[in-house]
């Protein structure tokens, strides 16, 4: 077996770098690049509303999205802005736009329905040096772990860790350091509640971060420490 000359190794490295850069970066992770092209009073064209993203409902790619509206039981994907009227469910998390996944059923005939998950997905290059994926989400009904938002990257289901919270969101993070520098598909899937009604999740502010996440045990100890400190201060005030 002949060894390659140094020149071939250089050419190989350069070609590999060019191939990686050609795969493209993730885009519109904060949903702020939306252009709303109306189809009707409450629907818009999907592609300009979610540039870079593919939306599927029950495995079927969507050509439209709801705008400032939701369904009661039929699965869909929405984009909302400051004109969103149903603030009791939640609202814009950050910036001008937020995505809303809704998972219930779809009509397969005028009298037949079947459960349909809702998914937002995108394929891109995970930046070099990435340690974690972070995003903000809100589940107004907290229907339980079986119906919680499922997040995968490169077909690996991510273990989500709550990192903090705001008025209408929880900041989640997941360790993805092994996927840095690789092209991978990112999926946010909301499981269907079936005929019980819609499962909702508000999603925003997705980012690839160089922040190393603390171990879950450390987060639990920190929360316990904060609780004990709060009780101690309250006891002193009393």
Place of tokens 């369904």: 71
Q: Domains along the chain?
A: 27-237 (2.60.120.200)
Q: 63-90 pLDDT, tens per residue? A: 999 999 999 899 999 999 999 999 999 9
Residue numbers of the chain with a pLDDT score lower than 50 = 1-22, 218-238
Provide the pLDDT for residue 196.
Answer: 83
**Which strands make up the sheet holding 60-61, listed edge to edge?**
60-61, 54-57, 118-125, 183-190, 150-153, 156-157
Provide the pLDDT for residue 217.
Answer: 58
Sign of torsion over alpha carbons 60, 41, 67, 125: positive
Q: 120-162 pLDDT, tens per residue? A: 999 999 999 999 999 999 999 887 776 899 999 998 999 999 9
What is the pTM assigned to this prediction? 0.81
């Amino acid at each position: 077996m002949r060894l390659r000359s140094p020149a071939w190794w250089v050419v190989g490295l350069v070609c590999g770098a060019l191939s990686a850069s050609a795969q493209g970066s993730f885009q519109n992770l904060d949903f702020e690049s939306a252009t709303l092209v109306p189809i009707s009073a409450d629907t818009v064209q999907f592609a300009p509303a979610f540039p870079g993203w593919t939306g599927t409902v029950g495995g079927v790619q969507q050509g439209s999205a709801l705008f400032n509206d939701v369904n009661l039981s039929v699965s869909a994907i929405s984009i909302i802005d400051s004109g969103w009227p149903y603030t009791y469910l939640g609202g814009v998390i950050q910036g001008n736009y937020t995505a809303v996944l809704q998972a219930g059923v779809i009509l397969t005939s005028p009298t037949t329905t079947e459960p349909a998950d809702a998914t937002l997905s995108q394929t891109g290059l995970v930046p070099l040096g990435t340690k974690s994926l972070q995003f903000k989400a809100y589940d107004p009904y907290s229907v339980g772990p079986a119906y919680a938002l499922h997040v995968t990257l490169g077909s690996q289901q991510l273990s989500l860790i709550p990192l903090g919270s705001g008025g209408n969101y929880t900041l989640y993070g997941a360790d993805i350091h092994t996927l840095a520098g690789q092209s991978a598909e990112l999926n946010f899937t909301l499981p269907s509640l079936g005929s019980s009604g819609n499962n909702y999740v508000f999603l925003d502010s997705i980012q690839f971060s160089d922040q190393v996440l603390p171990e879950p045990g450390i987060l639990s100890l920190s929360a316990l420490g904060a609780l004990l400190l709060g009780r101690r201060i309250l006891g002193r005030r009393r």
